[in-house]
Amino acid sequence: MKFVLISLVLTPLIYLAIAFILVMLPFNREQSDKSLDFEVLHTDSLVGTIASEKYYTARDGSEIFYRFVPGKANVTVVLIHGSGAEGRYLVPLAKKLNSLLDVSVVIPDLRGHGKSALGHRGDTDYLGQLEHDLEDLKRDIAFNFPKSKIIVGGHSSGGGLVVRYGGNNLDQFDGYVLLAPYLGYKAPTVRPNSGGWVQVRKARYAGLAMLNNIGFKFFNHLPVLYFNRPAAIDDEFQVDSYSFRMNESFSPRFYVTDLKENDSHILAIVGEFDEAFYADKFESVFSENAPLAEFKIVPNAKHLDLPDANESVEIIVSWLDKKFNKALQPTSR
């Protein structure tokens, strides 16, 4: 009996000790020559935009920045940027969608990013806050444009956030566009370290996961993910690392469940030569878990030029026209 009591006391202490050690272990950050091909990115879109700049108020009172391209159709498309970035690189896609379909486009800088850094770049206040911010944005759009169909699209980790959102009990969008979506580190679609784009602090990540399993979240602000970005495109709006709670907020809880729980219209596309993900492994993921989703591979496209590739735009325009044709007829908003 005494041995059992001692074991009951020591086991949780050992668990905690292991977790704390993993969290605090030294870490050697490495800069690798292998990363995404940033030369295909239209860097002129990172210099300035002609979209109007606005803010909406999240449920915690924070002012979240977004770019807005107005259209006359009763369709609004929200575009979510990928990890470590902000919304400027999605403006060319927004302009094309607006020009071809006269849709309105909203491009937020997610909390902790770009002009929505709020003093905590690469971090959130709690795990899951990004999806709450996205729901607040959706409701803000619905209030201002009550007749509008609202579609959300996400690129890379932004696509992961969209998958996460669609599988949660939130105010759902009318449609979902997934551009090379990050489906979580256990997904068969993900290359090691996302093709060299990220470096994971694995010991700390494991330790924080252990602590979160028992409800201990005090260290969730610590960084666990680092980005391998060329200095040529770095500026004050880019993010160098993610905290544990930011990283987890971007990722689907479990892509299988999140996809199966989403019964809305879904379009998924990926570039043939994507460096971060295995393009040929997406089709089976969607056919098995979201059989009503449409999936396309864009020839010759890589990870970063996928959103702006002409064929990507053609696919999105065709899908929107097919699913939301009536709402696309220009009206006075």
The pLDDT value recorded for residue 314 is 98
**2-60 pLDDT, tens digit each:** 554 555 455 788 899 999 999 999 999 987 777 888 888 765 554 445 679 999 999 99
The CA-based diameter of the chain, rounded to the nearest angstrom, is 78
Q: 73 to each of 150, 242, 331, how far by Cα in Å?
A: 11, 37, 6
For residue 220 the two structure tokens come to 């969730």
In the chain, the domains with their CATH numbers are: 34-199+224-328 (3.40.50.1820)
In single-letter form, the type of residue at position 72 comes to: K
- Rounded CA separation 153/323 (Å): 15
Round the CA-based radius of gyration of the chain to a whole number and report it: 20
- For the chain, the average pLDDT equals 92
298 DSSP β-pair partners: 271
Instruction: Write out residues in the chain with pLDDT < 50, as ranges.
Output: 4, 8, 46-48
The pLDDT value recorded for residue 113 is 97
The pLDDT value recorded for residue 4 is 47
User: How far, in whole angstroms, is CA 207 from its chain's centroid?
Assistant: 24
What is the model's pTM? 0.93
Q: 331 to each of 111, 174, 225, 321, 327, how far by Cα in Å?
A: 33, 19, 45, 16, 9
Would residue 328 be called left, alpha or beta, if left means φ above 0 and alpha means ψ between -120 and 50 degrees?
A: alpha
Which 8-state DSSP code applies to residue 170? S
For residue 176, give the H/E element and its range: strand 175-179
